[in-house]
Amino acid sequence: MRGNDAIGEAAIVAGCRCYFGYPITPQNELIEYMARRMPEEGRVFIQSESELAAINMVLGASAAGARVMTSSSSPGFSLKQEGISFMAGQELPAVIVNIMRGGPGLGNIAPAQSDYFQATKGGGHGDYYTVVLAPSSVQEMADLTIDAFRLADLYRNPVIILGDGMLGQMMEPVEFPEKGEKTDLHKEYALTGAKGRPGRLIKSLILDTKEMEDHNWKLARKYERIKKNEVRYKTFKLEDADMAVVAYGTSARIAKGAIKRVREEGLKVGLIQPITLWPFPSQFIRKCGRSIKDFFVFEMSTGQMLYDVKLALEGEGRVHFHGRPGGIITTPLELSRIIARHYYRVKKEKER
Amino acid sequence: MKKVYAWPKSLKRGVPFHYCPGCGHSIIHKLIAQVIDEMGIREKVICVPPAGCAVLAYNYLDIDMVEAPHGRAAAVATGIKRVLPQNLVFSYQGDGDLAAIGTAETIHAANRSENISIFFINNAVYGMTGGQMAPTTLLGQKTSTSLGGREAKRDGYPIDMCKLLATLKGAVYLERTAVNSPANILKTKKAIIRSFQIQRDDQGFSLIDILSPCPTNWRMNSVESCRWIDEVMIKVYPLGVIKDETK
Amino acid sequence: MKGYIEIDPELCKECVLCIEVCPKGLIKKSSRLNLKGFYHVMFEDKEKQCAGCSLCAIICPEAAIEVYRG
């Protein structure tokens, strides 16, 4: 199944009640898939007039208590930031998919990883974060989508699935669990009409400064809980490594191929693949920094996750960066040569 | 003797309106509360208030409400109504919210004939932010961003939202009323009831454009403001049913 | 038909729209300041002229007027 389609089917399995979206390459397949499948399942589908309208429809549907999703690509993701900020402030759950492409501005339609900052550092205004999940295969696109709905409801927060154009288009075998989740879950904050109770209010406007501060700290405490409980990462050949590549998404797949090659030549290189880009596996990387002294960050951008790796290490290691923005995909063979060259250079410096 | 006019039950007690003396918002909030009481729909309505003077509408009406980003109320209302088609979903919006930043969302909600009610509080100015020019400001009207009066060449023309939406097949009922006299207030109340009935009967999108006084930003007292609506505003925005395609 | 009205003086904001619409001129501005700092209006109907038409209550933005008729 195609990556974009897998996200759609996974959302349906997870009980997604509404999908609102706007076409933008490279995720058009997802909105078309939902246009076909949502009515088949008796669920709601609207092609809205813009990504801006879509995220606001998500806000409304979420306020009414439904599981709801929208998707876009980089320029459209920028349009959604206001809505995401509002939903974070109002503590409403939602799943937002960003299939990244080249940027900034209109960019191009090739895969990229240049929206990392925007996704992980609260891309809209205000003090907030969203959980960010980074799949690297079609199966992960499906599994993480189902997880995203669970996490969004659990923490009453928007969750972002950060894919890229290559993942969206590639076709791989994928398995879905049984359609278990009901679409209507009872939520104690949801607006359903004030039957037998006082009116409920979902808002983010808090004019009183003390109350506003309290609200911000309440959100901060929630984010600390998420940081403690939801960090996820994968490793590959890390046990005896003296250099660790750090990469996510498509870059992680390429890195795995490169590492397999350099391992055949005896270079002890491993991979750290964050699955949650927020919360970032900082503690794990810091721990690795005690035994591994060289980190090689590989991204399809000019360097964004690079800074989270540096922050995580707190000076405990050397960080090298290799990146290609704009849709130029480094092949595993090319990357293996670049990694090997860096490995030998570092070895020579150590021997001096 | 019987009490024939009382405090509406759906209006919260002990929370005096923060609106200026003579403001149309207070009158319209009172009307909406009365309609909710009379139609018995308090447990069905869900409201999307605006960004504007009425951003605090949730302090006064004891019903379910969700705040929307400025201008997006029509899209938020769409999301709610699609999940809860049995409820009565309405938005309460001002000039900027509906006709400036929210124009696209308003037009497309009407075009899809979303089964919602939109109450457009039209006072030809941006109230909360201090009286700047709005898309509905009349030519020659002085505001803080059209100091000598609105000029067509520099500022464009006032937009008649009802006429604009009337071109869309999905907009099923469009009426303009005012709240500057008891007779007009009673007509406004009827229009609000009609809009909810249309929604209850699944007939599609309805919008009531309510001309409302803003004494503070018009730099007049309340009596003069009500007169200005009659003498000046109604000439540009005539009252009446602009479109009725209901069955 | 006879009627009378009750005005909540603390809600009044002195917009005087009620005075403007009363067909019999039975509402006047008082000389008393309410807690908000407005000279609130008051009902004065010595000759029992009020018919309970409710025009004042309809226009009052503060819902400060309740009307009795019988």
The answer to the question of residue C14 being in a domain is yes
pLDDT digits (tens, 9 = 90+) for A52-62: 999 999 999 99
| Angle value at C-alpha B100, between B99 and B101, nearest 5 degrees | 120
Nearest-angstrom CA–CA distance, B208 and B177: 7
Q: What is the mean pLDDT of chain C?
A: 95
Amino acid A92: pLDDT: 97
User: Among candidates B199, C45, B66, B121, which has minimal Cα distance to A193?
Assistant: B66
* A44-48, A179-183, A316-320, range with the lowest pLDDT: A179-183
For residue A102 the two structure tokens come to 């080249």
Residue A319 has pLDDT above 60, yes or no: yes
CA-nearest residue to B13 within chain C is C63
CA-nearest residue to A81 within chain B is B69
Residue A179 has pLDDT above 80, yes or no: no
Residue C20 has pLDDT above 60, yes or no: yes
For residue C41 the two structure tokens come to 């209006």
The answer to the question of residue C12 being in a domain is yes
Residue A180 has pLDDT above 80, yes or no: no
Q: Which fold has domain A233-351?
A: Rossmann fold (3.40.50)
Residue B230 domain boundaries: 24-244
Phi-psi region of B123 (alpha: psi -120 to 50; beta: other; left: phi over 0): alpha
pTM over 0.90: yes
Backbone CA torsion sign across B61, B63, B69, B72: negative
Return the half-sphere exposure (C-beta side, CA atoms, 13 A cut-off) of residue A97: 41
Residue A350 has pLDDT above 90, yes or no: no
For residue A273 the two structure tokens come to 């693949």
A199: nearest CB among B55, B62, B84:
B62
For residue B140 the two structure tokens come to 């020659």
CATH number of the domain that residue C30 is part of: 3.30.70.20
**In this complex, is the C-beta atom of B10 within 8 Å of any C-beta atom belonging to chain C?**
no
User: Among candidates A76, A15, A83, which has minimal Cα distance to A51?
Assistant: A76
Residue type, A133: L
Nearest-angstrom CA–CA distance, A130 and A132: 6
Residue C13 has pLDDT above 80, yes or no: yes
Residue A339 has pLDDT above 80, yes or no: yes
Which 3 state secondary structure label does DSSP give B238?
A: coil
Chain C partners within 8 Å of B221 (Cβ): 15-16
Chain B partners within 8 Å of C54 (Cβ): 4-5, 182
The answer to the question of residue C70 being in a domain is no
CA-nearest residue to B102 within chain A is A53
Residue type, A324: R
**pLDDT-above-90 percentage for chain A:** 92
Q: A346: exposed, middle or buried (C-beta count within 10 Å: 0-12, 13-18, 19+)?
A: middle
Q: Answer for the pair A69, A42: CB distance below 8 angstroms, yes or no.
A: no
Residues B76, A202: C-beta atoms closer than 8 Å: no
Chain B partners within 8 Å of C65 (Cβ): 5
Q: Answer for the pair A167, A138: CB distance below 8 angstroms, yes or no.
A: yes
Amino acid B58: pLDDT: 93
The answer as to CATH 3.40.50.300 being correct for domain A3-193+217-229 is no
- Residues near A50 by beta carbon (within 8 Å), at least 6 away in sequence: A22, A79, B104
- Min CA distance, B72 vs chain A (Å)? 6
Residue A183 has pLDDT above 60, yes or no: no
CATH number of the domain that residue B191 is part of: 3.40.50.970
Phi, psi of A12 (to 5 degrees): -65, -45
The answer to the question of residue C38 being in a domain is yes
| Contact C/A (≥3 CB pairs under 8 Å) | no
The answer to the question of residue B29 being in a domain is yes
Q: Answer for the pair A239, A271: CB distance below 8 angstroms, yes or no.
A: no
* pLDDT, mean of residues A14-19: 95
Nearest-angstrom CA–CA distance, A58 and A94: 7
Amino acid A187: pLDDT: 87
Amino acid A181: pLDDT: 60
Nearest-angstrom CA–CA distance, A181 and A150: 10
Amino acid A352: pLDDT: 81
Nearest-angstrom CA–CA distance, C56 and C54: 5
Residues B75, A64: C-beta atoms closer than 8 Å: no
Amino acid A182: pLDDT: 61
Residues C61, B17: C-beta atoms closer than 8 Å: yes
User: Among candidates A6, A292, A41, A44, which has minimal Cα distance to A175?
Assistant: A6
* pLDDT, mean of residues A260-266: 96
- Residues near A334 by beta carbon (within 8 Å), at least 6 away in sequence: none
Element (H, E) at A87: helix A81-90
C66: nearest CB among B5, B21, B185:
B5
- Per-residue exposure over B80-96, b if at least 16 CB sit within 10 Å of its own CB, e if not: bbbbbeebbbbbbbbbb
For residue A292 the two structure tokens come to 């591994």
Phi, psi of B143 (to 5 degrees): -135, 175
Amino acid B156: pLDDT: 95
For residue A85 the two structure tokens come to 């900020």
Element (H, E) at B91: strand B88-93
All residue ranges of chain B with pLDDT < 50 are none
Amino acid A286: pLDDT: 95
Residues A44, B82: C-beta atoms closer than 8 Å: yes
Q: How many domains does chain C have?
A: 1
pLDDT digits (tens, 9 = 90+) for A200-227: 999 999 999 999 999 999 999 999 999 9
The answer to the question of residue B4 being in a domain is no
Amino acid A185: pLDDT: 63
Residue C45 domain boundaries: 3-65
Chain C partners within 8 Å of B20 (Cβ): 13
Residues A192, B64: C-beta atoms closer than 8 Å: yes
Q: What is the mean pLDDT of chain A?
A: 94
- Residues near A348 by beta carbon (within 8 Å), at least 6 away in sequence: none
Residue A22 has pLDDT above 70, yes or no: yes
**pLDDT-above-70 percentage for chain A:** 98
Q: How many domains does chain B have?
A: 1
The ranges assigned to domains in chain A are: 3-193+217-229, 233-351
Q: Which string of DSSP letters, residue by residue, matches A22-47? A: ---TT-HHHHHHHHHHHHHTT-EEEE
Residue A188 has pLDDT above 90, yes or no: no
Which 3 state secondary structure label does DSSP give A138?
A: helix
ipTM value of the model? 0.94
